[in-house]
Amino acid sequence: MMNLKPWHSPEINQHRRTIAWSRTQNIIALALILLLGNLGKDAIATPEIEQEISCDVLVVGAGLAGTATAYEALLAGRTVCLTDITDWLGGQISSQGTSALDERPTQSRLHHYPRGYL
């Protein structure tokens, strides 16, 4: 039979205090993140819209799938807007086994890569 400690033993009480302190720290950290995150929203300048374009279909990403989607939408008679982070079509299909984004001078200079790419 196991030797169980009573619920009021010093070891159990210390464990409860540790858990309570850990929860308190997490709540304080979350509150600070939310508070500081909301403070910056008013300080961020919204860029001016240079040009407004309307279309029936918006395709984000001019890789192989995005280009094919835009082509099919055009064949269906839709107005298509195709946008990509690079200035070429085809995405990685044109990179010949190397990272096409690493070779783009503008992206290297500005460190502008899609989230999760690197």
Residues 33, 66 within the same domain? no
Residues 62 and 105 occupy one common structural domain:
yes
**73 against 32, higher pLDDT:** 73
Whether 44 is in a domain gets the answer: no
Q: Is residue 81 part of a domain?
A: yes
- 19 in a structural domain: yes
Mean pLDDT, residues 74-90 = 88
- Domain assignment of residue 20, yes or no: yes
Provide CB contacts within 8 A for 73, sequence distance 6+. 56, 57, 59, 80
Q: Kindly state whether residue 80 falls inside one of the protein's structural domains.
A: yes
pLDDT of residue 59: 94
Domain containing residue 26: 9-37
Same domain, 21 and 65: no
42 lies in some domain: no
Quick check: is 103 in a domain? yes
pLDDT of residue 31: 78
Q: How far is CA 88 from CA 7, 63, 95, 98, in A?
A: 68, 9, 11, 15
The continuous run of DSSP H or E covering 47 comes out as: none
Percentage above 70 pLDDT, the chain: 51
Total domain count for the chain? 2
The answer on 63 and 26 residing in a single domain is no
Q: pLDDT tens for residues 32-66?
A: 777 666 655 555 566 787 888 999 999 999 888 99
Does residue 71 fall inside a structural domain?
yes
Query: Confidence band (pLDDT; 50, 70, 90) for 101?
Result: low
